[in-house]
């Protein structure tokens, strides 16, 4: 199993989106950067914000695309190609409508599941990357999805998501050191309080 050398968080750029549910992937990478003292800087060449640092003994790059969610591939694909990072060494963190707030799952491969960020990435690099799916809940009807993902969660839901992110961050050592199965077992066993 290959070590993870690129961790991407999906979201939308700009202050007005920072606290919205669609930015759950950004939250994960920003907290990871804080936890390991990695500075994230604008990287216009790759339409993103990126950083590089030592995470649990591994050299890992972090990337937040600034292209808006639907065009995430315009940042992720050239970045991965330039640094010669195989999909199997990538972890992409993103919000997940089909899971409740507080639920967090790690999986490898699969389709895009209707997620607009993944839809723009999978056709270019294939499905064989790792995904950290961060539950944000579903509003109940298709018509309300856009307002839901671009809305701010009530504090009760935000707390559940924060706790789940904290749990995943505490398992990052397993992930970056290539023990993806063990990380999956521990992350996926998490139950919100």
Q: Which residues are annotated as a binding site for tRNA?
A: 17, 68, 70, 116
Closest to 72 (Cα-Cα) out of 90, 59, 54: 90
Instruction: Indicate if 112 belongs to the active site.
Output: no
Distances in Å between the alpha carbon of 105 and those of 134, 135, 138, 140, 177?
7, 8, 16, 21, 18
Q: How far apart are CA 62 and CA 27, in angstroms?
A: 12
List the catalytic residue out of 22, 94, 130, 148: 22
Distances in Å between the alpha carbon of 1 and those of 39, 80, 91?
28, 18, 13
- Tokens describing residue 56: 């649990």
Side-chain-side CA neighbours of residue 142 (13 Å): 1
Residue with tokens 């539950």: 135
Q: How far apart are CA 134 and CA 132, in angstroms?
A: 6
**Residues of each annotated binding site:** 17, 68, 70, 116
Q: What residues act catalytically?
A: 22
């Amino acid at each position: 199993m290959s070590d993870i050398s690129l961790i991407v968080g999906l979201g939308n750029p700009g202050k007005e989106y920072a606290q919205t549910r669609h930015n759950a992937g950004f939250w994960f990478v920003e907290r990871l950067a804080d936890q390991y003292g990695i500075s994230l800087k604008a990287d216009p060449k790759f339409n993103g914000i990126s950083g590089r640092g030592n995470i649990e003994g591994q050299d890992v790059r972090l990337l937040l695309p600034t292209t808006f969610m639907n065009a995430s591939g315009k940042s992720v694909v050239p970045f991965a190609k330039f640094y010669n990072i195989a999909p199997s060494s990538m972890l992409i963190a993103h919000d997940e409508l089909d899971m409740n707030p507080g639920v967090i799952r790690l999986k490898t491969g699969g389709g895009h599941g209707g997620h607009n960020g993944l839809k723009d990435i999978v056709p270019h690099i294939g499905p064989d990357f790792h995904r950290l799916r961060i539950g944000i809940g579903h509003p109940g009807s298709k018509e309300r999805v856009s307002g839901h993902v671009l809305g701010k969660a009530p504090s009760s839901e935000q707390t559940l998501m924060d706790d789940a992110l904290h749990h995943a961050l505490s398992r990052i050592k397993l992930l970056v050191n290539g023990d993806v199965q063990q990380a999956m077992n521990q992350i996926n066993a998490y139950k919100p309080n």
